[in-house]
């Protein structure tokens, strides 16, 4: 019953959608519209960062499936992450200092994956990302889930991947 069958998928009543970013935005719009951004400028920055983070996620994930070349995957990470770190600066969240947005959940999950892929070098080289990840994961509700037995922290990839399957 999905227009574009794929994982992940989300069903909410008559709404049936696939694609990670569409699901994130739907959930935010449905249960926390402020997570989309509070005004047009903030929403534009959230969507811009979703594209930037999505590009980085694609670059890291695809290598896990294609050839499993960890050195090449790490090159992608360390080539792309400095610009994101500069943009993050000393803000509490990726796009704002005072309001979490849906892209923070997407990027925090990617940080966890990149920390795994880099054998811990990501946070060693960019302590601000470790602080950022901890800030997002300490959000009420998310912190309890993250620490619970119900939280699936791995594997990050499908069983056909060459890395972390």
Burial per residue of 39-78, b for 16 or more beta-carbon CB atoms within 10 angstroms, e otherwise: eeebeebbbebbebbbebbebbbebbeeeeeeeebbebbe
Tell me the whole-structure pTM to 2 decimals: 0.92
Least confident span in 41-50, 116-125, 155-164 = 155-164
Which tens digit of pLDDT belongs to each residue from 100-142?
999 999 999 999 999 999 999 999 999 999 999 999 999 999 9
pLDDT of residue 165: 67
Q: Collect all residues with Cβ–Cβ distance below 8 Å to 26 and sequence separation of at least 6.
A: 10, 12, 15, 17
Which tens digit of pLDDT belongs to each residue from 58-97?
999 999 999 989 999 999 999 999 999 999 999 999 999 9
* Three-state secondary structure readout of 113-156: HHHHHCCCHHHHHCHHHHHHHHHHHCCCCHHHHHHCCCCCCCCC
pLDDT band at 12 (very low <50, low <70, confident <90, very high): very high
């Amino acid at each position: 019953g999905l227009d574009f069958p794929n994982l992940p998928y989300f069903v909410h009543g008559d709404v049936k959608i696939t694609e990670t970013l569409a699901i994130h935005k739907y959930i935010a719009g449905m249960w926390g519209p402020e997570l989309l951004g509070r005004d047009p400028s903030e929403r534009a920055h959230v969507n811009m960062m979703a594209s930037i983070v999505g590009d980085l996620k694609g670059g890291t994930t695809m290598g896990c499936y294609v050839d499993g070349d960890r050195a090449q995957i790490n090159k992608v990470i360390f080539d792309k992450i400095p610009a994101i770190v500069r943009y993050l600066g000393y803000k509490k969240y990726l796009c704002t200092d005072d309001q979490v947005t849906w892209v923070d959940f997407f990027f925090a999950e990617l940080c966890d994956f990149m920390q795994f892929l880099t054998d811990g070098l990501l946070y060693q080289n960019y302590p601000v990302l470790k602080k950022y990840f901890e800030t997002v994961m300490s959000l009420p509700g998310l912190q309890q889930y993250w620490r619970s037995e119900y939280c699936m922290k791995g594997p990050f990839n499908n069983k056909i991947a060459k890395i972390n399957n």
